Amino acid sequence: MVMLLQNQNQNQNKPPNFTAIPVIDLSHPDDAKNLIVKACQDYGFFKVVNHGVPLWLVSQLENQTMEFFNMSQSEKNKYCPPYPTGYATKTIGPNGDVGWLEYLLFTSNDFSTNSKTFTSLAKEYVEAVKKLGCEILELVAEGLKIEPKSVLSRMLSDDKADTIFRLNHYPPCPDTDPDMDHRATNTIGFGEHTDPHLISIARSNTTSGLQICLPNGTWVGVPPDHTSFFINVDDMLQVMTNGRFKSVKHRVVTDKLKSRVSMIYFVGPPLMEKIAPLGSLMEPGEESMYDEFTWFEYKSCTYKTRLADDRLSFFHKG
Ligand code: GA4
């Protein structure tokens, strides 16, 4: 009887795979710009191939990241400077969210840890994904037929761009965790949420676990692909397109046997950037769905919320 209940639960918690994931080939920019816009409208999510980020760099950084996470707990705890930068385990954000993971969060371009190799690889990796981010944001503008084509990418190429680099490690999750009161098959690594930024650029190893929520409310699993990058539309891009693009709700579940490593670069505008729908995109007579705010105001609000909260709802007009 107990077995039967467990199996039912497992099935319930293992959604189907997202087989229709839009795959964008960046070596064909003319097709890519239109396909990106369609993917952002349909799902707020897509994957890019032929992205130009060297695979040796990606795998060396992954190895270095694992060297960090393989250190003893007391060694890792030395890298817990005051919130929000540095090493942390289980705690997510300042308001009581937890997950089955440990992570490094870098809110500046200082990637110092115990290893100089890690620091220089992280710097090089972030430069490469920043370039990729600018390219994607330019393609978005071109696909939307708005000018100049730097209207979005300029926020990232700006020296004051507010970016975050996050390295997550989801260790294999045993059947029961005394702290979390869940079974392995449905233990949450990172609870459901949308990302507050403009876009997020994610790469992970060969372990599955990422799930996204489709516009019809169905959760689907994203098959892992360690050679590609997964791009999320975030809250700011939803606002700047006046709701044409959807900020994708996503979460990560753990694996019983394999550990999962992901590296995510969050692209945020300069703190004082005013966020409102792009004038050049609005149809005559179209009303903004949101009150104007600065990224600083949105970010401050974000850190007062829980992970699953609908932060954009605080900025809806009326
Ligand atoms: C979600 C996206 C990024 O990982 C992040 C997260 C941040 C954090 O881990 O400190 C937040 C979360 C994220 C949104 C709501 C707040 C802040 C945890 C949390 C509960 C780094 C970010 O920018 O927002």
* For residue 99, pLDDT beyond 50: yes
Record the pTM: 0.94
State the pairing for strand pair 274-275/293-294. Answer: antiparallel
* For residue 109, pLDDT beyond 80: yes
17 Cα to the center of ligand 1, angstroms: 26
pLDDT for res 1: 29
The string of pLDDT tens digits covering residues 133-184 is 999 999 999 999 999 999 999 999 999 999 999 999 999 987 655 555 544 4
CB-defined site of ligand 1, < 6 Å: 84, 92-93, 95, 97, 164, 166, 193, 195-196, 266, 302-303, 305-307
Protein residue with its CA nearest to atom 6 in ligand 1: 93
The preferred substitution site among 303, 310, 312 for testing ligand 1, maximizing ligand atoms within 8 Å of CB, is 303
Structure tokens at 26: 């960046």
- Spatial neighbors of 269 by CB under 8 A, at least 6 apart, are 155, 158, 161, 162, 198, 236, 275, 295
Task: Please state the ipTM of this predicted complex.
Answer: 0.99
pLDDT for res 6: 35
- Spatial neighbors of 312 by CB under 8 A, at least 6 apart, are 194, 235, 238, 239, 247, 290
Q: In this structure, are residues 155 and 52 in contact, taking their beta carbons and an 8 Å threshold?
A: no
Protein residue with its CA nearest to atom 11 in ligand 1: 93
Q: What is the mean pLDDT of residues 28-36?
A: 98
Phi, psi at 237, each rounded to 5°: -75, -30
Protein residue with its CA nearest to atom 5 in ligand 1: 195
* For residue 7, pLDDT beyond 60: no
Pairwise CA distance, residues 100 & 188, whole Å: 6
307 Cα to the center of ligand 1, angstroms: 7
The long-range contacts involving 69-78, CB below 8 angstroms and separated by at least 24 positions, are 69/102, 69/169, 69/261, 71/114, 75/114, 76/102, 78/114
The preferred substitution site among 80, 83, 89, 92 for testing ligand 1, maximizing ligand atoms within 8 Å of CB, is 92
Protein residue with its CA nearest to atom 14 in ligand 1: 307
The string of pLDDT tens digits covering residues 199-244 is 999 999 999 999 999 999 999 999 999 999 999 999 999 999 999 9
Strand order in the sheet with 97-106: 23-25, 45-49, 229-233, 199-204, 260-267, 164-170, 97-106, 86-92
Q: What is the mean pLDDT of residues 94-106?
A: 95
Pairwise CA distance, residues 170 & 165, whole Å: 16
Structure tokens at 123: 């710097």
Q: What is the mean pLDDT of residues 264-282?
A: 97
Pairwise CA distance, residues 111 & 126, whole Å: 10
pLDDT for res 178: 53
260 given a catalytic annotation: yes
- Spatial neighbors of 220 by CB under 8 A, at least 6 apart, are 15, 16, 17, 18, 211, 212, 214
Q: Is 74 exposed, middle or buried (0-12, 13-18, 19+ CB in 10 A)?
A: exposed
Planar angle of CA 282, 36, 209, nearest 5 degrees: 120
Q: Please state, for a pLDDT cut of 90, what percent of the chain lies above it.
A: 87
pLDDT band per the 50, 70, 90 thresholds, residue 83:
low
